Structure 1
């Protein structure tokens, strides 16, 4: 009996052995499921890393595009600067050609400046060549980066495909796994169970190898990501270097512009070192605001005395009138300063009165000769009018609104002043009023030539063409008349080309006034131009000693 009990203890029952097998299989399946869950978690993290990598690559590509845009902007600025240098070179050549006709010193200065400009041009060409090389290097680097990005994208897609294939293999392995609990009715089926377990072990080994392959692919992907990050840093560094190179080019261009400015000042200094004539001193003196001596403008008196002493009125042709007219014309271009305009208008009025007195005094002896010699008086007024009109043409629409507002105030003044004082002043401004009205009209593109001529009958075709072609609206962006109307205007201008009156682009001026210049002269107090206080520049120069020593009588 004791031996039977020992046998019972040493040899377990078949049911107990079956339970042990089932528990062992269950534990293996749990381990397998835990492994699959770990693999899925790892694959999910790998996908997130791949997404981050794609995002970084897209940001790098956007940064490269921004850098390319900045480089194009800088290139455009360089081209504009080059055009400015070329225009300045042309201006220097033209100025030096005009100055070379007068003095040999200016010819030497011109040669020096031309050599300097050629040096600057060569330097600019060198800088342009360097910029072209930088652009080519940047283009090549950008192409290499694009190829690297494409290769990285392919590697990422391959890694994703490997992950998807491994996931599908794992899923199929899970689906093909044997059931957890399997009844073993007889002992003979143990061999089949062992075979199935062996196959499961082989499957687990295969899955383990697949997991190792995935881990290896993950490590390779991580290494590739680090390489891509390094390449991205290198690309960013190269982009920064390109940006610094562009900044250095801009600094060099600014330095070149400064050198050109210095050369311009040197040219002015060289021209100033040439021998100055009394006419130069007079022009330099009247270009300043000399003010008034009592009620008399000093500049007009000085000009009159000097021209009278130099006998400029007796010469057939002299350059002093042109220089004085040019100085006055350049001074009145500052239309925003009413004090400057009033100052020069008073000087021109006084000078006209002085000249009118001389004409009246000599008219009995030689009227025709004196009238021919004093024709510069109208040229002075014409130059001032042209300078004023040219200044208004710089911003037609903007200035047209200002002139319209001024005309409205003038019309109100004429209405309040009555016809006794205003007279026909408002009617005399019909050219100006219609020109301003056409300028500020907003429906120009919709108007035909017939409508325009019917609305503005006083203006000639040449004047309408000049206003239409010089028009632009810098405030609201409206357009001028249509191209068909412009073409019709050109045809009509060609037909009227033989008409000298209709070929004038400026507004007609009416010299007729209800009173004569003599009436104005008689109504003014007699002024002795010798009593004025001369400017310091005139007093210190010996060429103008006649203004200090001679006591000439007042003009009569």
Structure 2
């Protein structure tokens, strides 16, 4: 064992020769074929004797070098042990081997009440099994094996018992006998092996812990155990030791030397400690004595001072007692005198008060009787007058009601005519709208046809230009050829005229002239055709311009008709109010006349008609103001005080013109067209962020200010006279009435305002969704856009709640994509992929920690599914984890279907470990079966990406304070217009 330990520790040593008893042990107990095994086999045969047993041994171990047969014996055998030869006699082997204890006796003795006797016969494990032959040799072998197992599991300390003499008497020591016992017991061999090797072995931590006091600096500094051990051994100057991998090996006697050094150091340290302790105790005793003397002196001096103080206090108390006694005697005499006088006065006053009370009670009773009598007479007279007045009033009111009924019937006929006119105008508006749409479609078709015709004409024009250029070049070449021939003919001297040649030249000249004429004709035709094409193009352009002007005219006509319809409704309301004001109800006394109509509107003044039909030039100016506002806010006009100027300007103008309180207007439609065109035209995040900031700010102000009619929480106040149409309200604002205008206040809005608010909410959701979709598209190619988008949205002054929600949904999108990939793709659900994703998630967590919370918020919580799934993938020894630990500790968010999918798809491509056990999978299958039977709608294991805007109007409204909108600078383009001077307030 020691040599195996030396080899394991890899120290420098030489092999030690020793006697190995394994062959003798195999000879005795090897099964089958050992002596004990042959003895048990012989005992099981009925006619066996010790001689047959000896004969079997002779035959079995005939060639064994450790077994021999004595010369003069037929049943003995000799075993050659390492200490000498031992001869065994087999005469009683069989009888002793089958001489076992009866089982009933053992049970009886084990049932004894004496604990010692009961412990001597413990119940054997074989007694519970089926009965089987067990010999004494087998039992001894089993007990010896159990003893070896016990010794192997503990750290035993051996004690060898040696007989000093064979006579068994005291004070006799036989050296040779004792030496023989030590040799036979293996003690000498063990000592020899121990001396050749390293008998003392200690682990590094035990060695440093025990002998660290020899070198205190080793304990104080951070040395590793091997270095500390070597320093200690060098300190004590030991030689011959060996340093292994986990232990230090010492020669015989070196441990005693180290213990002696340690004892010396500890003794010296104990002396120093005793000296210091005794010095401390003596010093402490001296301080206590000094403190006791000081306290004793203080007590004595205090006692003397207290005696002196008590003497002075007694003298002062004597004077005080005398003073109080004299004062008490004088006060007692005075109180007796006062009590006597008070008793006499109270008696006299009580008698006078009783007389006065009796007189007053009699007077009060007389007054009550008189009052009841007069009240009865007055009530009787009042009831008669009341009955007569009610009768008269009923008759008069009935007459007035019949007269009012006749007038209302006449007004209803007029109202019916107005309603018919209104319906007619609505039909005209619908017809014009249909014609406008038709004109738009015709305009689109015309533009397409125009574009196609232009392309064809341009192609033909290019072809004609090419033909014209070719013709001109050919004409030039022919003219140059003819000119050269003419000049050549002029230079030739006169020769004999050849009539044939002249005729040929003349004919050729005529042909050239004809060709030139035809080419000139073609050029003229090409130019004429080009002019026609140009004219046709101009006509098409003129038609397109006319169609566009016609569409604009129809649009203006439709708007004017809408305004006319609104004015007619205003006139209708004026007529109704005038019909009510002409009724005779005003003859009723002032205490019973109503202050308002049944519709809640105050009575109109006599000058109301002046405002009901405003001049056309004034309405044109109001339309110009609306057009100026629309043209201004269509472009990006920037921000002021961190808020979009366009939203604040629109809100101020709508409040100033009282658009929210109108029952019908086109301003909201035009504003909605602006936002709609902005969504269609712009695709960049900068433009979308600007319009999201503008629309959300306007929506926040509408959320804080608009309320339904009649839903005010406080006490209603009397408001000035209001108009019901857009133009009427603008006329009303033109009067000299000035209203204190707060930026954000409660307004009783009509249906168009709430419809505009709903449409604006839809645009906010649409813009938010477009920015979110753009980020998602760019996220797959470049994740750095997630850093640029907050800067862009911050530069565009978008409320922080939108930035937090965008990152929340982006992280939710990342969580859903990664988690669904793990569940769907088998190659992703591996150990190495889990480590890779875990590193990426750690980087995202670090990034979220560096970014301000106003941008990210709690977006990191959206990654809980993928974080828990990855944590499960990278954990070791999954087969030891139970289902409760997975659900409660590792993955509390994941469902049973998701856990089952991950567990079945998991594979370890790095360490080849197993997934969870079959028991956990069976439990998951059972739960999945139960849940599928209860609710089949939740059986999906994939995550969905939420595409809606997860923000409510209340959250948007609470994210800003209305005070933040008060100091916004208006756009300079509108301030320069006189109609918008109210924006400066």
Q: TM-score, normalised by structure 2?
A: 0.21
* Structure with a larger share of its residues in helix: 1
* Higher Rg of the two aligned structures: 2
Give the number of the structure with larger relative contact order, counting CA–CA contacts within 8 Å between residues 6 or more apart: 1
